């Protein structure tokens, strides 16, 4: 497996070579402008910088203060880190005078350091404060949300974002427990869920779907993804590439539908007298759908659910 690590942090970058290769950073494009929508621990960014020419530029985004701290170690004048969500891409690029970019990479989900640090509250396997915020400097923690939200809304979030069939039983159990004591720890929540889930999926902890759902909701991950995809498409130069790595079906469904909507056009009635040159043209060309190799999954089991989709902006007029 391709791997990059930051000293002191054991984080394996999923689809490292494949993702950066898909951006086609070569020739004149090596001196273009690129976006890494989720810096994480910098695996993709560092590989992009290795491919960039002397006049190339990489602008990376991340909400996580720890990721921003890791980015400070990148001493390269071609690189800039933005402490914000990739959903702010349009405004951030415009404020820097960037109207078009040659390639954009979005690596969704959470990183291994986030999962493996109990204090972040993402993992039900580690006992820590129930936080779950990507950006710990802003917004409401998972504990605060569970303490104030209605049973109906909690159930709907777990059902919609976790695809959990016992969502409303879990919500009822959460509300019952918080009437007795605050729900402030990850293990505490995991135990509540375990008692509410009647049957368990083989090889999966009963808390998996609930933790996923709350994390996605707290961080507004799906809403931000939709905004980012639209901004990425608008900013791509002709022949610019967009690569998106998703880790669960909700993300991948949004990516797949968005790319498909730009790659297809509604055909007019064939009986109408329309010249071929005037027919609507697709705006994106779908290039690839890729999953990690067996070797990568063996080396990094967390890569097993990853799917990367790659598309290219079609030049005006549909020119190849």
Residues 208-255 pLDDT 10s = 999 999 999 999 999 999 999 999 999 999 999 999 999 999 999 999
Total-model pTM:
0.89
Give the per-residue pLDDT at 188. 97
Band of pLDDT at residue 7, cut at 50, 70 and 90: very low
Q: Please state the rounded mean pLDDT for residues 50-69.
A: 96
Q: Which fold has domain 136-218?
A: DNA polymerase; domain 1 (1.10.150)
Architecture of domain 16-112+221-318: 3-Layer(aba) Sandwich (3.40)
**In a 10 Å sphere around its CB, with 0-12 CB exposed, 13-18 middle and 19+ buried, how is residue 156 labelled?**
middle
Q: Is 249 helix (H, G, I), strand (E, B) or coil?
A: helix
Q: Is 242 helix (H, G, I), strand (E, B) or coil?
A: strand
pLDDT at residue 317 is higher than 60: no
Band of pLDDT at residue 12, cut at 50, 70 and 90: confident
**DSSP letters along 103-145, please?**
EEEEE-S--HHHHH-GGG---SSS--BS---SSTTSS--HHHH
- Please identify which residue in the block is written with the tokens 């910088």: 49
pLDDT at residue 27 is higher than 50: yes
Band of pLDDT at residue 125, cut at 50, 70 and 90: confident
Give the per-residue pLDDT at 110. 80
pLDDT at residue 318 is higher than 50: no
Q: Is 315 helix (H, G, I), strand (E, B) or coil?
A: coil
Residue ranges of the annotated binding site for S-adenosyl-L-methionine are 42-44, 62, 86, 107, 114
- Give the C-alpha separation, 247 to 252, whole Å: 7
Tell me if 158 sits within 8 A of 214, measured CB to CB.
yes
Give the per-residue pLDDT at 112. 74
Residue ranges, comma separated, of all CATH 1.10.150.170 domains in the chain are 136-218
Residue with more model confidence, 26 or 12: 26
Q: Return the sign of the alpha-carbon dihedral for residues 91, 93, 95, 98.
A: negative
Q: Label residue 109 left, alpha or beta by phi (over 0 means left) and psi (-120 to 50 means alpha).
A: left
Residue ranges, comma separated, of all CATH 3.40.50.150 domains in the chain are 16-112+221-318
Within 13 A of 56's CA, how many CA atoms are on the CB side?
22
């Amino acid at each position: 497996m391709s791997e990059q690590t930051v000293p002191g942090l054991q984080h394996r970058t999923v689809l490292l070579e494949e993702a950066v290769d898909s951006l086609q950073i070569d020739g004149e494009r090596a001196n273009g402008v690129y976006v890494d929508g989720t810096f994480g621990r910098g695996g993709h960014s560092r590989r992009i910088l290795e491919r960039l020419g002397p006049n190339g530029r990489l602008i990376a985004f991340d909400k996580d203060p720890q990721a921003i701290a890791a980015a400070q170690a990148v001493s390269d004048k071609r690189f800039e880190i933005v402490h914000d969500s990739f959903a702010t891409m349009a405004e951030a690029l415009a404020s820097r005078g960037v109207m078009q970019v040659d390639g954009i990479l979005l690596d969704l989900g959470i990183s291994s350091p986030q999962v493996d640090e109990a204090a972040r509250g993402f993992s039900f396997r580690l006992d820590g404060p129930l936080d779950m915020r990507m950006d710990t400097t802003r917004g409401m923690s998972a504990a605060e949300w569970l303490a104030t939200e209605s049973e109906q809304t909690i159930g709907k979030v777990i059902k919609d974002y976790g695809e959990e069939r016992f969502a409303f039983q879990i919500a009822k159990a959460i509300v019952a427990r918080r009437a007795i004591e605050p729900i402030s720890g990850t293990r505490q929540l995991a135990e509540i869920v375990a008692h509410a889930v009647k049957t368990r999926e083989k090889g999966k902890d009963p808390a998996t779907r609930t933790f996923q759902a709350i994390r996605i909701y707290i961080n507004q991950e799906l809403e931000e993804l939709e905004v980012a995809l639209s901004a990425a498409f608008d900013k791509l130069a002709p022949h610019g590439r967009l690569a998106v790595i998703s880790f669960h079906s909700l993300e991948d469904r949004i990516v797949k539908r968005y790319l498909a909507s730009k790659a297809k056009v509604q055909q007019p009635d064939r009986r109408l007298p329309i010249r071929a040159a005037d027919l609507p043209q697709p705006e994106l060309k779908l290039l690839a759908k890729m999953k990690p190799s067996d070797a990568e999954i063996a080396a990094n089991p967390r890569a097993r659910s990853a799917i990367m989709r790659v598309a290219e902006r079609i030049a005006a007029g549909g020119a190849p």
